[in-house]
Every structure is written in C-alpha cells, then in structure tokens.
Amino acid sequence: MSSPADAAIDLDGLRSLGDDVSSGVPDGDPATAWQRRKDSYKLISPLNRRKFSVIVVGTGLAGSGCAAALGELGYDVHSFTYHDAPRRAHSVAAQGGINAARARKVDNDSLHRFVVDTVKGGDFRAREADAFRLAEESVRVIDHLDAIGAPFAREYGGQLATRSFGGVQVSRTYYTRGQTGQQLQVAASQALLRQVARGSVTLHTRHEMLDLVVADGRAQGVIVRDLVTGEIGAQTAHAVVLATGGYGTVYFQSTLARNCNATASWRAHRRGALLASPSFVQFHPTALPVSAPWQSKTTLMSESLRNDGRIWVPRKAGDDRAPGDIPEAERDYYLERKYPAFGNLTPRDVASRAAKEQIDSGHGVGPLHNSVYLDFADAIGRLGKDVIAERYGNLFAMYRDATGEDPYTQPMRIAPAAHFTMGGLWSDFDQMSNIPGLFVGGEVGWDYHGANRLGANSLLSACVDGWFTLPYSIPNFLAPHIGSPVLPLDDPAVVDTANAVRDRVDRLLSVGGRTGPDRFHRRLGEILYAGCGVARSAETLTDAIERIRALREEFWSDVRVQGTGAEFNQELERAGRVADFLELAELMCVDALDRDESCGAHFRLEHQTADGEAVRDDEHFAFASAWETTPDGSRIRHREPLSFAAVPLQTRNYR
C-alpha cells in the first residue's frame, strides 16, 4: 500500500512495501478477546509437560515470571542471563510504581478508563485488544506480587496504597516507596530461584545470547557465549522466549544501565523476526541533565516525583539567578499553564517536548542551561518534610549523591533523556513473533504502548506477559508437538548458526583498528539525539541515515578489540553490541522517515499544530510498522492495520 506521503519523501533505496500481517485477535468485542482466546487454547496434561523444553532469555520481570511459571507447571526450562544473578536484571530501575485497574479508590477508576488512558496515551498506535488484556490481568498481577512478597505501601488501615502517574486523573499506581522495580524484581527472582532449587529450571548466568537457531521454519534454540570463558555453545528447545528488554542504550547516554543492549532481539530480527515501529522511543522528562562531556549515561528520577513536585523555568530567558531568588511572579510553571487539566502529570512525550521547547528557547537552568526545575517547596510546606521523605526518600538521597545538591532545600534539575522503547519485536495476540516458536515478553515486544508508554505501565506489561500471558500461549503452541524431540546439537542448523557467530567474533577481533567501541557508540548517540530525538524531520533523519552509514563503515575498518575471544573480554562484548546498534539505528531512522506523521513520542516537525501539538495522519498511518531485513540488507515494511472499537480515534487533549 502507498500513500501521498510516499511521494513527498524519497524513500527509494530505503525500503519496499510488503504484505499486511495479522494480529491474531479473535473477531468481536476487544474487551472479551483475551478470555475467548484463552478458552480456545490447547492444553497439555501435567504428565506431558516435562517432555517439553523451553528457553527463556532474560531474567527481568517478564523473563523471571515466565520461567518461574512454566517451571511451576512442570516444563523443562532453561533460563539465560548475562548477569551474575537474575535479580540484577534492569527491571530494578523502574522505581515509581506499577499500575492496576483495581478501582479500590473512590475516584471513578475502572477497567474501561484504564484502557482509554492506555490507548489514548499511546496516541492510537497500539492494539486495543492488548490494552484490554493489560487492564484485565493487572488486577491479578497486584494480588500475585503481594502474595510472593512484594512489600507494597499500605494505608493506615492496611489497604494497599496508590498514587497517580502521568496521563491519568485517577490513583491506580501501586508502589514500594521509590523502590518498586527493585522490590518486584527481588520477589520475581526469588520465585525463579525456587524453581531452580526444585530442578524444573536450569539457570545459566553470565551467558549472552548471540544468535537464534531457526530450523524447519521454527525457533528451536539459541547460540550463547560464556562471558567468563569465551566458549560459544548452543541450547536447543521446543520454544524460545526473548525477554531481553529495550534498546534505549542505542543513544549511548540513556537512563538504562550500560550493559543493556539490543543484540538478542536484533539477531532474532536478522533471522527473520519482524521488528515493529523501531522509531517509537520515549524520552523521559524526569532524568538528570548531562553535566559533563565525559558522562557515560544519564540518571533517571522517577516520574512519581511529579505527583508533588512542580516544574518551572524563569520567565525571562537567560535568567541565571539562584532559584530561591526568583519570585513567584517571575516563574513559568509551563505544564500547569499549558495543560491545566493534567498539569505536571501530563504524559511523558508531552512533558519532554515542553521541556525541550523551554531549553531550546533559552529558558534552561543550571550551569549548562540544559534543564528545568522540579520544585518540592510547596509540597514540603503543605505536607511536611517527613511525608515527602516517606514517599521519595531514597530518590532524594540518590539525587543528592549524584549532584551534591539537597532537593529538600532547593529544586531538582531535570531534563529529557532516552529511556523506554515502545518499538520492539513484532508479535501477535499470543505474544508469538512471525517465526513460529519464538515468543516475546516485556520491553523487547511492542504491542501495549503504541507511540508513548504511560508511566508505571512498564512493570505491569512485563508482569502480565511473564506471569499471565506466555504461560497460557506457549502450551498452545507446544501441544501439537507432543512426541517431537528437541533439535540435536549436531543438527546442521545449529552447527551453521554457531559457526556464523564464531565468524562474526573473529571478524571483530581481526579489524585491528585504533578506536575503541565506546567511541563509536558515543558518536552514534550524538547522531541519534540530533536526528531522531525528541523531535525529528525529514531533513534531520536523512542526514542521520547518511552519517550512520559512514560511521558503520568506519567502525568495521577502525574498531579496536583487544584480547581474544577465548577469555573474559568486555571490549569484545561491547564491540558486538555496538555493531548491532549501528544496524538498528539506521532502521530506526528509516522507520521514522517512513512514518510521515506525528504521533506520541514520534514527533515530526512537519506535522504539528500552531501551538506545537502532534498531528496524526490516521488515514494513511493507522498501522503498526513491521520491518523485515533481508539477508542482503534490504528492508521491507509490512503493516498491521489498527482499529479501535471501544476507544474511538480522537485527538489527544490534556488541557
């Protein structure tokens, strides 16, 4: 299918158009689609479950939950992580809270309102039926996590406490102070280790997945590298689950841990798995600003702080006075001014664009004038320091440790930074990719959040996938394969894939250049922030594509990887990940160039209203892009058309 947009931008040589893909959502009411789909699933009896082997890559909330649930059911599970322990997975970093449509507050919340907020928050670029599943299972998630030991905050009478997050007007976010991700990850990893102790899960730590084994048209294993010894080996199974997180570190300076990467998902993509909407990247408005050129990452301050903190800048551009010396009349609480209905709790994409607008117009604060203020003076005056410390004490301590400034006595300084990726491996309603037997869970997937994720929906979507979706849908795929053996390790598909991995490692080691991989990564991040950042245009994206191609060519002629592959070698690890980032980054820019509209966090400068709001093109772009990269590097854009029955298409309005 083509559109007028195809003629407006020269995309020749960048992509061709392929067939539509099917979501697999049952016909009928999206509100009941998940229950009807579960009722149609094939079952496997307890005595047959131990005959099936499943690989789960990643031990965050989605991976730990999936592996623990399948192990509890009796399947033979192999769990892989490149960390030294499962609890170190990056789910620990999402500290603000986890949403649930339990409607325990008397604020008129409901399942329907949850779906409306999620679909609208994603700017109508996600599956409506998946949003209903997220809402429905959210009730079970909280009860389950509470049962396995997550220490949720409670009201005086014992009821679980909630607070608000961006993009909503109700209180549905459950939390454990400012440590929610950490505490949920501890509970999930303990559930996983319980199955390890029982013998139903085999845990492989310090192993990184470097490729996917596809045989007979199915995903049947993975190739991994032992990060301690350097040994490259294989593990085969009846099905593979990728729960390996997002790719925000492609920007180099991001809120993610330095080790986060896209290699597992990108290697699966190069084996044929479609990649959905890779340009949909969220820039978190509540990160610490970059303070020095040597800085290797940014630090996230939880969105929960926007419950009580007020965001402002000086009304006068270039005002360098200390914040305490700027009177109220000379402050611009710009989110409260522009979006009075939601104020400081506007969705992340809106808040990030507004902050960038203030910084770019000369109203930025701090030594580098690259941030805005997040001020708690009013809340401390109204509630007292002890209440604020009870709600956010660890976050305030983290800010003080990072900046040397006391947020109890002076405003925090915050700025947008690359954070969450709404794009990811395409999957159908069963969470299965277009490669049969390859399932996805958590941020590595795409289906819930559209073009912008609402705060506190990330922990939820990971838990829903891991505990309450994949343990139902995977057996449905496995049931017809009763009696089928696991693929032998000497099968040609395994041997050929392992050899391809070895050849790639040898190629990285043999370049013999002068520049370390981190230097290339930093330069790639600079290109992406400039060309495919908070705002993009055809001009910036075209320039970014050209610069990425030149950088990739330079990488393969000048990268320096010291040491050998037969040892612990972190420079080799980083080089492999940067090589994948250099390919992924170009596809991100191609996707952003192809989507000639603004929606959510994908903000094209050519498509905005007079007052700077995003303008969607539902006539031509009401679909999820699903990209295929052929062996010769050509790109084919498939579509999954999106329709909305319960939440009619509308212009987002947070005013």
What do you get for the CA distance between the two ends of the chain, in Å? 36
Q: Mind giving me the DSSP string for 612-654?
A: S-B---HHHH-EEEEEEE-TTS-EEEEEEE---SSS-------
Phi-psi region of 277 (alpha: psi -120 to 50; beta: other; left: phi over 0): left
- Contact by Cβ (8 Å): 372, 312: yes
Nearest to 419 by CA among 257, 602, 622, 282: 282
* One-letter amino acid of 422: M
Catalytic residue of the set 348, 353, 547, 637 = 348
Q: Collect all residues with Cβ–Cβ distance below 8 Å to 129 and sequence separation of at least 6.
A: 23, 25, 30, 33, 34, 429
Nearest to 281 by CA among 258, 256, 247, 245: 247
Nearest-angstrom CA–CA distance, 11 and 168: 38
Nearest to 69 by CA among 464, 478, 485: 464
Order of strands across the sheet that contains 98-99: 98-99, 173-174, 162-163
Nearest to 310 by CA among 247, 373, 226: 373
Q: Collect all residues with Cβ–Cβ distance below 8 Å to 579 and sequence separation of at least 6.
A: 508, 555, 556
Long-range contacts of 552-558 (CB under 8 A, 24+ apart): 552/582, 552/583, 552/586, 554/520, 555/517, 555/520, 555/579, 555/582, 556/511, 557/511, 557/513, 558/511, 558/513, 558/514, 558/515
* Interior angle at CA 535, CA 531 and CA 538, nearest 5: 55
Q: SS3 of 606, please?
A: coil
Determine whether 549 is an active site residue. Answer: no
- Contact by Cβ (8 Å): 630, 648: no
Provide the CB-side half-sphere exposure for 387 (13 A, CA): 11
- Contact by Cβ (8 Å): 125, 451: yes
Q: Collect all residues with Cβ–Cβ distance below 8 Å to 233 and sequence separation of at least 6.
A: 223, 224, 225, 226, 498
Instruction: Give 16-31 as a 3 state SS string.
Output: EEEEECCCCCCCCCHH
Q: What is the largest CA-CA distance in the chain?
A: 75
User: Sign of the C-alpha dihedral, residues 554, 557, 560, 565?
Assistant: positive
* Tokens read off for 389: 């410390």
| Per-position b or e across 100-127, b if 16+ CB within 10 A of its CB | bbbbbeeeebebebbbbbbbbbbbbbbb
Nearest-angstrom CA–CA distance, 519 and 539: 25
Q: Collect all residues with Cβ–Cβ distance below 8 Å to 89 and sequence separation of at least 6.
A: 58, 59, 60, 61, 63, 64, 81, 83, 185, 189, 245
Order of strands across the sheet that contains 232-236: 207-215, 218-226, 232-236
Q: Quick count: other Cβ atoms within 10 Å of Cβ 163?
A: 17
* Tokens read off for 186: 């501890």
Q: Quick count: other Cβ atoms within 10 Å of Cβ 58?
A: 32
- Contact by Cβ (8 Å): 287, 450: no
Report the catalytic residues. Answer: 348
